[in-house]
Chains A and B, each alone.
Chain A
Amino acid sequence: MMSDRENLERPLLSVKGLKVAFKTKKGMAYAVDDVTFDVYKGEVFGLAGESGSGKSTIALSILRLIEEPGRIEAGSIIFDGKNVLEFTQKELQEYRWHDVSMVFQGAMNSFNPVMRIGEQLVDAIMAHSNMTEEEAYKRAEELIAMVGIDKMFINRYPFELSGGMKQRAMIAMALVLNPKLLIADEPTTSIDVIRQVEVLRLLKGLQNKLGLSMIYITHDLSLMAAIADRVGIMYAGKLVEQGTVTQIYKTPAHPYTKLLLESIPKLDDKGQRLAGIPGQPPNPMSYPSGCRFHNRCPFAMNICSRELPELRELGSIWPEELQPSAVNTPQSGHYVACHLWDKARAGPNDTRYQPLSPLQKEAQ
């Protein structure tokens, strides 16, 4: 299904070969390394990964907000047919917030503390449109109602709102100019579980109602499962797997995704022990050679420490190590970067695909 769509429809946003580096005292840190994905109209594309995996850097790159000492070194970002990386300052101003807006991480603290909520919305509207103050105020009221905040709060200061309310107000702020794409970067991380679900419901509802496209970024795979249509899994600056939400969760094709899903405690677990993943995510200053996950991967082979696997559509034979729990999920549109997928094709005598010993792993 997905590949039909890929052939027929032009994506709203197309990120290709994106590489972002930060210059540090200790050398270059490649926060995002050769990442490619598309976001279609009206879909929620999820980017999942741990801290430091590059999720937020991708978001900032899309808005051209990477600043010194960071730099977009390679790749292209095409929005609605236009190359974002070649925009002039004026074009950027017309692009940011009009076309693409963002709800930032810890957004509750991004309001100006000495301005009323309503004023801040009106400010944003007037700075980017020809509305009169009266019209802008009306629009602000509409938005506040849309995100489920009582009208009386429009003239309050940020500190007078609860955390959940500020988060909603921030979502209203992101929608003031009717953007086509909304980037939500961990929008619920600092609020408690009940409000989290409410904000998620709100976002999903708005996305349906307004026909928005959305990039949803989180480290929480349970929240992701509830909101995303397609998901990309980030590890150490690389997109290691990409597919529909069903493909990713029911038939994970990368050992990292599979192990990560298995290491989350679930309410309906029957008391089985969680496996966990040994080790820790690598430092962006010193990624392991070859596949960046190989020194934590229980299935690592000789080739894994030497060659970086490419993101490719799944083959037809599932590697025995990754046998999926559900078999009927279509594989088209499901991409993975893992050498295990080549093992089946190689003969049993091909030493490249023999397991890496723990000692060899240690030495990397």
Chain B
Amino acid sequence: MTLFAQDIIQAQNVSVKFKVRNVDFYALKNVDFEISRATSISLVGASGSGKSTLAKVLLGFLKPTDGTVLYKGKNVYALEGKDLMEFRKNVQPIFQDPYYSLNPVRKIRHALEMGLFLSGLSKQEKERAIYDSLKLVGLNPPEDFLDKYPHQLSGGQRQRVAIARAFIGKPEVIIADEPVSMLDVSMRAEILNLIIDEMKRQETAFMFITHDLAVAKYVSKRIAVINVGEIVEVGNMNDVISSPAHPYTKLLMDSVLSPDPDKAREKLEKFNKDAMIANAEIPGCEKPGVKYVEVGEGHYVKCS
């Protein structure tokens, strides 16, 4: 887990500890994670694995108990004044639930204006940018939506606004936490395509959090798998999908059913969690003190 020169955000040895009934509970434990310029990485894990906690830590919303988060080399939790403004402008979130992520008493126009707050554009340029961004996310004609309140839009339309808002200020990084899981299946593909197109067009770095491996593969070039607060495997998407090395990643792969009755039935029949966990040997991990082994180029696996 090398530091690349093009890293925009780096989490180094980050831990987040909560006290539950006086017992320490680690939501994240010694996590290293990077978001690099103009690339996309998916963070995949089950509920409770620490996915959203890591997102909050990277967004500057939750100060980790231990470790540091750097934005272009500077500690995110010590940023002030202009630097903090730059960080906020350049690192944007998209949340899971479009029903909660827009201010209910403000019009759509306001959400987008706020995205341009630090842009330095003139009033006319802002108006132009707002129109363009709504068109881009398929809310056309924009004047039909600008003066509406969030409750007047459907869930899919709201998520489109949230995406427009995130992209409008031309950020360097977008961190999206399960952005399609609340949407109906028939609308998901369009929203995913929208995100992919915009990401490519603006060369935005993208972190995509999901529990769905197939969605992760569709969206990202790299993948990190998280389980119980620890990153267990990270690498290029195709490498990890074609040769998963950590038992948890394998288990996750075995749980992904496909919309094909023959394949889905076969997978369901063969599924055996216990056998999976029992076969937990990773070559290279037998040496004492090894935390991660590199099993392929840029493909790291955690030793348990």
Chain A residues at the B interface, C-beta cutoff of 8 Å: 50-51, 191-198, 200-201, 204, 219-227, 245-246, 249-250, 256, 259-261, 263-269, 273-278, 280-281, 296
Q: How far is the CA of A191 from the CA of B256 in the complex (A)?
A: 14
| Chain A, residue nearest B189 (CB) | A276
Contact check, A226 vs B268: say whether CB atoms are below 8 A apart: yes
- B175-196 contacts to A (CB < 8 Å): 184-190, 192-193
Q: Which of B184, B217, B253, B273 contacts A265 (CB 8 A)?
A: B217
Q: How far is the CA of A192 from the CA of B264 in the complex (A)?
A: 17
> 17 interchain pairs (CB within 8 A)?
A50-B186, A193-B46, A194-B252, A194-B273, A196-B255, A197-B271, A201-B268, A222-B264, A226-B268, A265-B215, A266-B214, A267-B256, A274-B189, A276-B186, A276-B190, A280-B157, A281-B184
Chain B residues at the A interface, C-beta cutoff of 8 Å: 46-48, 154, 156-157, 184-190, 192-193, 211-215, 217-218, 241, 251-261, 263-265, 267-268, 271, 273
Contact check, A226 vs B265: say whether CB atoms are below 8 A apart: yes
Q: How far is the CA of A162 from the CA of B190 in the complex (A)?
A: 35
- Our count of residue pairs bridging A and B at CB distance below 8 angstroms stands at 128
Chain A residues with Cβ below 8 Å from B193 are: 273-274, 276
Contact check, A267 vs B189: say whether CB atoms are below 8 A apart: no
Q: Which of B46, B211, B218, B268 contacts A204 (CB 8 A)?
A: B268
Given A194-B46, A197-B255, A197-B257, check contact A280 B187 (CB 8 Å). yes
Q: How far is the CA of A273 from the CA of B186 in the complex (A)?
A: 15
| Chain A, residue nearest B265 (CB) | A226
**Interface SS of B by simple majority:** helix
Beyond contacts A226-B257, A245-B261: 15 other A-B pairs, Cβ-Cβ < 8 A, are A50-B186, A192-B211, A193-B255, A194-B255, A197-B254, A197-B271, A198-B273, A200-B268, A201-B268, A201-B271, A264-B185, A264-B259, A266-B259, A276-B186, A276-B187
**Interface SS of A by simple majority:** helix
Chain A residues with Cβ below 8 Å from B254 are: 197
Chain A residues with Cβ below 8 Å from B184 are: 50-51, 219, 280-281
Contact check, B213 vs A277: say whether CB atoms are below 8 A apart: no
Q: Which of B189, B253, B256, B260 contacts A225 (CB 8 A)?
A: B260
Contact check, B258 vs A274: say whether CB atoms are below 8 A apart: no
Chain B residues with Cβ below 8 Å from A269 are: 214, 217-218
Q: Which of B157, B188, B190, B260 has the most CB of A within 10 A?
A: B260
Q: How far is the CA of A27 from the CA of B178 in the complex (A)?
A: 35
